[in-house]
Amino acid sequence: MRFHIILTAALALAGTASAQEHPPHAQAWTYGGATGPERWSELEPANAACATGQQESPIDLTGAITADLGVLDIDWSPMPAAARDTGHAIQLDAPEGSTMAVGGQTYRLLQFHVHQPAEHLLDGRRFPLEIHFVHAGPDGVLGVLGVFAGVGATSAPLQAVIDSLGAPTAGPALDPNGLLPAGRDFFRYEGSLTTPPCSETVDWVVLSAPITVSQDQVDAFERLHPGNTRPMQPLHRRFLLRSGH
């Protein structure tokens, strides 16, 4: 039931909430023009949810219900720095063994990739970057952890991703935990892939605190994939939860 039990508990407290995020597709899609987000649903029948879905992502993370969502347990192991360009984002695939657990469910890390600028908004604010850590859960459900990045100090792990792109061999081990902020407050909601076919099979966890990256690092992703960001989607009748007591 994904986290419906958590939603029920949250409402009481409030007084009243495929195996990759970016699977391959036969029909080309882009972030602009005739094959951009406004036309994704027309590219093939499987993309119908891109236009008609009621639980689409990304959203503006605002007006959340504060609830006790339990502990977010991230258990990631170092991995070789071997980034690749999928044609839509810069991505690093994860070997077996790394997991995320939240709400009584454990998800297995598959990959992480970068969006420039961020896809989700935080109270109307858009960060320069957003990293999506895509995990596989049971019955085809995905658990995606979103991490915002603002401009500040250079991120050594993110630089390792940039430096490994197109390299003939994998770089030294990269610790993905270095791409997490110190704080673990987070939002949760039921949503979708942010790319075709926009399947509504994603348990979203988005950390409220950002990490920092340098302006040069932001510029590097802007040169590689500028604007690989889906427009905001309406919340509709969903509940947006925020961890807290």
Where in the sequence numbering do the catalytic residues fall?
A: 88
Q: What's at 165, amino acid-wise?
A: L
Distances (CA, A) of 140 to 58, 69, 74, 135, 136: 20, 22, 20, 10, 7
Distances (CA, A) of 141 to 55, 80, 105, 177: 14, 26, 11, 23
* Contact between residue 54 and residue 236 where contact means Cβ atoms under 8 Å apart: yes
Close Cβ partners of 211 (under 8 Å, ≥ 6 residues apart): 147, 148, 149, 150, 155, 179, 180, 181
Beta-bridge mates of residue 133: 112, 145
* Contact between residue 144 and residue 205 where contact means Cβ atoms under 8 Å apart: yes
* Rounded CA separation 41/148 (Å): 28
Q: What's at 41, amino acid-wise?
A: S
* Contact between residue 160 and residue 81 where contact means Cβ atoms under 8 Å apart: yes
